[in-house]
Amino acid sequence: MNAYQVVDRAEQLMQQYLDDLKTIVNIDSGTYTRSGVDRVGAYLQERFQAFGFSTRFDRQEQFGNHLIATHTGNAPAGPRILLIGHIDTVFSEGEAQRRPFAISQQNGGRIATGPGVLDMKSGVLIGMYGLHILISAQEANYKQATFICNSDEEIGSPSSKPLIQELARQADAVIVLEPGRAKGTVVSSRRGSGQYRVEVRGISAHAGVEPQKGRNAILELSYQVQKMQALNGTIPGTTLSVGIIRGGERTNIVPDYAYCEMDVRVSDEAGLEAIEAAMHKVASKTVLQGTSITLSGGMSCMPFERSKRNEQLIQLAKEAGSELGLNIEDVGSGGAFKVPSLRNVSKTGPYFHDGRFKTLEETVTFMWDFYKKKSESTNTLSDGEKRDLVAFLRAL
């Protein structure tokens, strides 16, 4: 089955694909709309089973259930592939009724719109149909393909992260079906991100009667903020931004507690070690005698570094694209698998969350509705495995 035969088969399946896309886009599946997320999962379970997959759910209490679909390929010694896509969206209940799935003509092309159509219900279906094309053509030249559809990605994957990590450790390659950053791109590296907090404890006193007995935590924190912010840009590939500062209860009391929170981004683990060492050095010294400082926090997502291992996947994607007349480029993004990984290989578009907001009022209303619901192998691929993966990537 050559590249053009794959395209022909994909075109034959396009209407079926669009029907599936319409069905799941028109189901409200915001992260906190658990019933809707489970409806999407149940629908996809039926589709996976019809395509020859075995399926199971990782049951959840707080969020929707995570769907795991597995297919055993034709190559017992071939690669084990993990595909990842999420079925939750950022939208509140009722959005699918207000703005249902639609296809329109724009700039000479057909554009599909609707809540979650790009991020990332279309990507989940692209992965599923890509595998279906390979399976139906008897070209599933892998040992096993596992597909996880998680239900909580839009809030950081709190319940699905351990499951994804477990499945990734069992895989030779991971493909994340998020939308691409621009036409013809895949993401080959991604910065890690974390949140850190500096807490200052001082001594409370009456600001008018005996201020000399107090130790102003806000004042000490102001020194810490300046020193922490000064670290930004001093270590290659890292950024630090102080984004929140809080302290004090009443103006006539010397505050005995204050804190700030910082966003930290790193490109690699060496940068992480360096920026953390620098932050600890700043926090180890106070300016005001009688105050104390505590630094806490850490990385919520480790950096996804470009390596020789994922370069093999990048090259495979470029070769597959070239056969179809596509110039595929790899870019960094601003995540972490200890196996070769390729991210953001699905459909592209300018608005990950559909470019919904036209006014400030709409934006503020949406943010309030959404956030008020919150409670918070080391082996390289062999030549044979490379050849097997080429066929797989061509179908995506």
Task: State pLDDT tens for residues 307-329.
Answer: 887 888 889 888 988 888 888 88
Average pLDDT on 22-43 reads 98
Q: What is the pLDDT of residue 379?
A: 47
Q: What is the pLDDT of residue 351?
A: 41
Q: Find how far residue 291's CA is from the centre of its chain.
A: 39
- N-term to C-term CA, the chain: 14
Q: How many CB atoms lie within 10 A of CB 300?
A: 13
| Confidence category of residue 186, pLDDT binned at 50, 70, 90 | confident
**CA gap 395, 73 in Å, rounded:** 15
**CA gap 14, 204 in Å, rounded:** 68
Q: What is the pLDDT of residue 343?
A: 57
- Among 7-21, 173-187, 354-368, the range scoring the smallest mean pLDDT is 354-368
Predicted TM-score (pTM) above 0.85: no
Identify residue 88 by its one-letter amino acid code: D
Q: What is the pLDDT of residue 378?
A: 42
pLDDT digit string, tens, across residues 114-166: 999 999 999 999 999 999 999 999 999 999 999 999 999 998 899 999 999 99
User: Which helix or strand (DSSP H or E) is residue 275 part of?
Assistant: helix 269-283
**CA gap 206, 80 in Å, rounded:** 66
**CA gap 222, 202 in Å, rounded:** 13
- Among 57-71, 87-101, 242-256, 302-316, the range scoring the smallest mean pLDDT is 302-316
Average pLDDT on 212-238 reads 97
**CA gap 124, 100 in Å, rounded:** 19
**CA gap 22, 42 in Å, rounded:** 15
Coil, strand or helix: which one is 36? helix
Give percent of the chain with pLDDT exceeding 70.
83
DSSP string spanning 118-167? IIIIHHHHHHHHHHHHHHHTT---SSEEEEEEES-GGGT-TTTHHHHHHH
All structural domains of the chain: 3-190+303-394 (3.40.630.10), 192-301 (3.30.70.360)
Relative to beta strand 144-150, strand 66-72 is: antiparallel
| Confidence category of residue 306, pLDDT binned at 50, 70, 90 | confident
Q: What is the pLDDT of residue 34?
A: 97
Identify residue 64 by its one-letter amino acid code: G
Handedness of CA 333, 339, 345, 349 (dihedral sign): negative
